[in-house]
Structure 1
């Protein structure tokens, strides 16, 4: 109990690492030392799942799980509005059946949108925050920018994205180029180009080559969830 991380749900593999068998875990629940959150998932009695603890638990079960998009930028000091209640934007590589206790303790969204080609490592550009939980990975700002663009029209407004981008002065051009070179989403690449041009920062002035790589000639157009038409030039 002294070694178990506070605020992090414990699965049976973690308990086994601590020398606790499933039978012993059942006994500890009856004795009041552990509380059962769901089948095979426990928490120290008197403890409560924390945001980082929940994400660290989920990362053990979902390949490529990380905080991305607007959340990743916010956690690195890039934000426009401060939400009354934070919604954590989680990204991963496969679908997952989230147990009810996750939503009871953390407001979140989850998506498995594949932005990059098969030759690009799924976990590239993911790392823990300085002084943060080492098991909670977060997109670097350049990757988070592509994830933010991906969410435009799916609950993320273009206006807010522009306001966020206005605070992104320190985007690393070479790193952004690397992500865009492997991005296979026409909408994402064109939106990053447009956001970069709109910001007038140096990193956003030479991105047309990535749009051309995906094919030239046609406008991209789609209707957003709000019913508005999003049209992006070639």
Structure 2
């Protein structure tokens, strides 16, 4: 038993006065004991919660302040707390994965990891920037404002889920694979993230300002096992013409087996030319300006 848990047990064993005068206080004390017990069971050491979640557990601002004073919580940012590890020195460094696991598995915010981050975590991208923090792409309809204020060991980039008319399509959520309870162990938790099929479309949406053609090209090279049916569904509900045209530019360039199962004519690719970058070449089939090397010689000659 840790020092923290021994301290908590000692706190629970304090005598409760049952006089009529203190009856209300006694009931409040028992409720506070229950709330603190639930907190310890639901939040592993090192993981995060915010004031909204605490209030849903019956822990108001005054109680949260008392928990901080007693060392049961550590305040990280306004309205954001971490359960400290017993005996470990307080530190501001927060691992982004613990932050996201807390966001998804404890507080249940509708947010997922997507884009190049999801591709990298699933083994489809091996590019790591040198001399700077990794960009972590987070997508969600209700991302809390405090997320980007935390001192994480990565740079968070937040986006909405407006790219698709069906915002939940293609999200890999394995949290329901296990019969999870409040006392489930954190090493069983999984990150909610985009499937490779969705993630590549999210990444294409960041061209050319936030992602590079080279990085997307390297990712496409490894995407040999994409599922045509899921791709078809995602392309059908993708709202951006730019993203769909770029997808087929890269898909034709790498010509994986799944490409033969997709007909560009089945999707709304819009009309007219699209100028994505300056100094590039218009793709003769998909009518979008891309770097010259992304247009095959025979396509240029036939244009």
TM-score band, normalised by shorter chain? 0.7 to 0.9
RMSD: 2.9
The partner residue of 1:220 within 268, 271, 274 is 274
What's the TM-score, normalizing by structure 1? 0.81
Helix, strand or coil: the match of 2:248? helix
What's the TM-score, normalizing by structure 2? 0.64
Alpha carbons of structure 1 residues 74 and 104: separation in structure 2 relative to 1, 3 Å: closer
* Matched-pair contact (CA < 8 Å) for 1:54–1:102: no
Determine the structure 1 residue equivalent to 2:135. 87
* Matched-pair contact (CA < 8 Å) for 1:91–1:110: yes
Counterpart mapping for 1:39-58 below 5 A? 39-45=78-84, 46=88, 49-58=94-103
Counterpart mapping for 1:60-209 below 5 A? 60=107, 63=110, 65-84=111-130, 85-93=133-141, 97-98=145-146, 101-112=149-160, 114-117=162-165, 120=166, 122-128=167-173, 133-134=189-190, 136-205=191-260, 206-209=262-265
| CA displacement at 1:210 relative to structure 2 | 4.4
Helix, strand or coil: the match of 1:221? coil
Deviations 1:143-171 (A, max 9, x none): 01111111111221112211110001000
Alpha carbons of structure 1 residues 22 and 96: separation in structure 2 relative to 1, 3 Å: closer
Q: Distance in 1 between matches of 2:62 and 2:147?
A: 22
| CA displacement at 1:100 relative to structure 2 | 5.8
> How many residues are paired up?
224
| CA displacement at 1:10 relative to structure 2 | 1.4
Alpha carbons of structure 1 residues 157 and 228: separation in structure 2 relative to 1, 3 Å: farther
* Matched-pair contact (CA < 8 Å) for 2:197–2:227: yes
Q: Distance in 1 between matches of 2:51 and 2:65?
A: 11
| Higher percent of residues as strand | 1
Unmatched 5+ residue regions in structure 2?
A: 1-38, 178-186, 288-303
The partner residue of 2:74 within 31, 35, 39 is 35
Q: Distance in 2 between matches of 1:96 and 1:13?
A: 10
| Higher percent of residues as helix | 2
* Matched-pair contact (CA < 8 Å) for 1:180–1:210: no
Alpha carbons of structure 1 residues 97 and 21: separation in structure 2 relative to 1, 3 Å: closer
